[in-house]
Amino acid sequence: MRRNASGSEGGNCPMSNNPILNLPEAERVDYLTVLAMLASVEGGPSQKQTARLEELSKAFKLSEAGRARVKEALNNPPTAVRSILDRLSGSDLRFTLITDLISIAYADEEYSGREEAEIRQIAMILRITDEQVGEIRRYIQAMLEAEKARRPRRERKRLGRELAAGLASVGVPTSAVAVSGSLHSLTAGAIGSALSALGFGFGAAVGAGVALGLGISSYFVVKWLYGKISDDGDGEE
């Protein structure tokens, strides 16, 4: 992952009301332990991956002891995290975890075959399909490219609508992806604004009622809905 976007949009910052912060500290540590395991899958984490985990430890408001446990997991990655994944498998946070895992994989601007295989294995345990993983990866790639290009706010909002529609069309709860701790960035704010206007809170499977029922056409339906919500603000730069 490249640096954090410096232009997070005020109240839309994903960490400001991230449901992960409602978890006991031990479970927040466990969540980051899974990310640490992925960062070490190729013999050890890169400097950028280590820095990203340190940032997330602070964002997740861990105590010094909690941060020390995450650091220890980076140096001595756990051999099994199945119990952690089993706890998340019935929650929309499983989609947030996959988003953070892919983001950690991209921290050094590479997405290796071993990282991809590990993420797909974790996704299978979490009951997330390859199609859903692929759409989340597309979301992250688009965000990183938009950040690098320093796109104007209007374009960012339109990109957010596009990405939200793609996620919803394969049944990914859009809000679960938008609160990823790794992505305090442009499209997360755009997606969050659209969800709020639609009346969806965290955990609302945007794709469940529309995308899964309508199939491929849902992409265009959901994109139209987001467009109706955000068009009034498109004149803002």
The most confident of 11-20, 160-169, 215-224, by mean pLDDT: 160-169
What is the per-residue pLDDT for 180?
76
Residue 121 structural domain: 10-233
The mean-pLDDT minimum among 77-91, 168-182, 197-211 falls in 197-211
In a domain, 4, yes or no: no
Q: Pick 220 or 169 by higher pLDDT.
A: 169
Report the domain count for the chain. 1
> Mean pLDDT, to the nearest integer, of 94-116?
89
What is the per-residue pLDDT for 25?
Answer: 94
Q: Which are the contacts of 182, defined by CB distance < 8 A and separation ≥ 6?
A: 1, 52, 56, 99, 100, 103, 104
Angular region, 228: left φ>0, alpha ψ -120 to 50, beta rest: alpha
More confident residue, 45 or 205: 45
Burial class (CB in 10 A: 0-12, 13-18, 19+), 227: middle
Q: What is the mean pLDDT of residues 189-197?
A: 47
Residue 28 lies in a domain: yes
Q: Please check whether residue 22 lies inside any domain of the structure.
A: yes
Q: Is residue 77 part of a domain?
A: yes
Q: So what's the pLDDT on residue 222?
A: 45
114 within some domain: yes
Q: Is residue 150 part of a domain?
A: yes
Per-residue model confidence as pLDDT tens digits over 128-154: 999 999 999 998 888 778 777 777 777
pLDDT(101) > 80:
yes
Q: Tell me what pLDDT residue 215 has.
A: 36
For residue 195, tell me if it sits in a domain.
yes
pTM metric for this prediction: 0.73
User: Which of 11-25, 110-124, 181-195 has the largest mean confidence?
Assistant: 110-124
Q: Residue 229 domain-assigned?
A: yes
pLDDT tens across 29-55, in order?
999 999 999 998 888 888 999 998 998
